[in-house]
Structure 1
Amino acid sequence: MTAIEIEYCVPCGLLDRAIATQTRLLDEFGQKLDSVSLVPSHGGVFIVTVDGETIWDKSVHGAEMDMNLIVNAIDDRISVDA
């Protein structure tokens, strides 16, 4: 199964974005996931990792999050593991 972590900057106010991402992933993949964890951080970070592999990093991909890219990357990972 698959574990997802969403690391987000608390002082930047990214909690709402992290919760929205978590909700979307749980809606999309449900019981195919072991967990979708929120990890409070600082320094402007917003990073989504799947089983330790970074699939979205705000510092690399920019401030506008591409939820389709994230969903597709997770879907590819789940399909390979199945």
Structure 2
Amino acid sequence: MCEPRFILISMTRQPRLEIEYCTQCRWLLRAGWTAQELLTTFTVELGEVALIPGTGGVFDVRLDGDTLWSRAEQGGFPELAELKRLVRDRIAPDRDLGHTDRRAST
């Protein structure tokens, strides 16, 4: 008797945003909250958000492989408004972020 065979194809939806966070520092909640905020803001523009466990104090945000924020390079964590602008500038440059944009221009 033949058994059905399934081929799993990994399909990545674009654009893909990755948040790599340090498990030793217990930054999962921060990474999850950041992902939730970005998915809420960019509901149709983002194809996928991935949380990637890491170590050594890492907290990096990448979009399609390009680093938008690195805790090691920029020091500290990104302000959410700034991170939203960085993402917007890459995936929806004509989009108005409402109060987030108005706060940045003052």
Asked if Structure 1 and Structure 2 have the same fold, meaning a TM-score greater than 0.5 normalized by the shorter chain, the answer is yes
TM-superposed deviation, 1:79: 2.3
Secondary structure at 2:35 match in 1: helix
Percent of counterpart pairs with the same letter?
38
Q: CA RMSD in A?
A: 1.2
TM superposition shift of 1:67: 1.4
Q: Would you say how many aligned residue pairs link Structure 1 and Structure 2?
A: 80
- Corresponding residue of 2:81: 68
Q: Which has the higher contact order (CA 8 A, sep 6+)?
A: 1
Whether 2:47 is the aligned partner of 1:34: answer yes
Note the residue ranges of structure 2 that are not aligned, 5 or more in a row.
Answer: 1-13, 94-106
Aligned residue identity for 1:31: V
Shift of 1:78: 1.0
Higher-Rg structure is: 2
Structure 1 stretches of 4+ moved >3 Å: none
Aligned to 2:33: 20
The amino acid of 1:42's aligned partner reads T
Deviates more, 1:61-70 or 1:20-29: 61-70
Q: Where does the alignment leave 5 or more consecutive residues of structure 1 unmatched?
A: none
Cα distance, 1:65 vs structure 2? 2.3
What secondary structure, in the 3-state scheme, does the structure 2 residue paired with 1:31 have? Answer: coil
- How far residue 69 of structure 1 moved from its aligned partner, in angstroms, is 1.7
Higher strand share: 1
Match of 2:11 in 1: none
